[in-house]
Amino acid sequence: MSYLVGSVGDVATRLDSVVIDAADPPALARWWADALDVEITHRHEHGVGLGLDGLHLVFVPVAEPKRGHNRLHLDLASSSVEHQRATVRRLCSAGAVPCDIGQGEVPWVVLADPEGNEFCVLDPRPEYADTGPLAAVVVEAVNPLSLATFWGVASSWPLVRGDEDFASLRHSSGTGPWLEFIRGRAKTGRNRVHLELRTTGDEDSLWGEVRYLHRFGAERIDIGQGEVRCAVLADPEGNELCVSTPG
């Protein structure tokens, strides 16, 4: 069964960033900048960011080591089987390692970056031909279609396709990476990768947007963030997310 929706309600938040916990944010950001052939766009005490088409990657410092495999991961695009193989060779020579997460015989290649974060180098597929180097941000979900419906509201990205095991969102411009939800295990522990939303209004409007997201299953949570200029929430399956204002 497929779904196509053109609008996602009145929420004034937009998907802005994929935030990745790192022991060494500058080093891991440099690695991913080289992997994706993009520029580092900002550096400050709270993290290091990369600019992509319609989405940012932000690496932030954490003291805790990685445990278990990530519930969110990145998929890299390829234009041909030869390009896929060359990308795998290039990334492995730069410090990536093959990773077995029980995927079995599949046409994509699973690797881990220098801090152990899993990612995939996909086989060539038409739907990723125009995404740029980052094909998709992938989220494991107990109920992919239900979680994608929430994130369609939160991100303002339309739900393009979905069924009981898989659902995809993409920016209405049809550019940049997909946000995809695949059937997987329930969340245990804090995610090392999370999504960040930004409001289109000022700080006074932030809490109104948070209340709006509550109507769709989000909840305020405390993960020890202290005094921060954003709202920390959990989506309906417990995945952490942040809502920030512009600037």
Query: Residue 11 gets which letter from DSSP?
Result: -
Task: Mark out the alpha helices in 135-229 (DSSP H runs).
Answer: 144-155, 203-214
Is pLDDT at 10 greater than 70 in this prediction?
Answer: no
Is pLDDT at 11 greater than 50 in this prediction?
Answer: yes
Query: Which CATH superfamily is 13-244 part of?
Result: 2,3-Dihydroxybiphenyl 1,2-Dioxygenase, domain 1 (3.10.180.10)
pLDDT for residue 139: 98
| Tens digit of each residue's pLDDT (9 = 90 or more) over 194-207 | 999 998 776 777 88
Cβ neighbours of 126 (radius 10 Å): 6
| Dist. CA 49–CA 140, nearest whole Å | 24
| Over residues 170-189, mean pLDDT | 93
Is pLDDT at 56 greater than 80 in this prediction?
Answer: yes
| Dist. CA 238–CA 209, nearest whole Å | 18
pTM of the model: 0.92
| Tens digit of each residue's pLDDT (9 = 90 or more) over 80-102 | 999 999 999 999 999 999 999 99
